[in-house]
Amino acid sequence: MDIVEALLRHYEVLRDLFETTAREEKRFIDLIRHLDVHNRNEELFFLNRTISNKEITYEALESKEEHHIINIMVNDLIYFPMDDRRWKVRFGILHEFTEHHLKEEEEDLFQQSRQFLNKTELEKLGNAFERNKKTQLSALEWKSL
């Protein structure tokens, strides 16, 4: 599986976890686990590689900065009381911001990256992303018990 396909598949997991967490706040730990692993590995195996292409450097850097903002919002929610009615509002803002981020990458960055990364490199990056993601998610599994 190539890196773009791997990222898109994990986007669906993230979207499902956002919907589930909106109904069941206790699933927030699963969402943040996936968001953290996703953002780290997307940067490591995709964004760091795409930054080197002058035509999409800005978009890749923008994605990294949006990951930073998502991390700030997640950290805020971790320490904010879930029984406060503002928690759902803050969660909704995180959801909206993250969805905007995902769509932007899907519509722009992924399409542009296919123009300069060859099939072999895309596959290599995708396999590395999947291996790391699987290892990291299983290492973090204990937190959601």
Per the structure, the complete domain to which residue 74 belongs is given by 3-144
The domain tally of the chain equals 1
State the pTM of this model. 0.92
The DSSP-derived string for 85-145 is THHHHHHHHHHHHHHHHHHHIIIIIHHHHTTTS-HHHHHHHHHHHHHHHHHHHHHHGGGG-
Residue 142 confidence (pLDDT): 57
Burial label for 36, CB within 10 Å (0-12, 13-18, 19+), is middle
The DSSP-derived string for 20-75 is HHHH-GGGHHHHHHHHHHHHHHHIIIIIHHHTTSTTTHHHHHHHHHHHHHHHHHHH
100-138: pLDDT as tens digits: 999 999 999 999 999 989 999 999 999 999 999 999 999
Q: Which amino acid is at 55?
A: E
**How far is Cα 39 from Cα 98, in angstroms, rounded to an integer?**
11
% of the chain at pLDDT higher than 90: 90
Cβ proximity of 52 and 87 under 8 Å: no
Averaged pLDDT score across all residues of the chain: 94
Tokens of 87: 């928690």
Given a cut of 60, whether residue 17 has pLDDT beyond it is: yes
Given a cut of 80, whether residue 63 has pLDDT beyond it is: yes
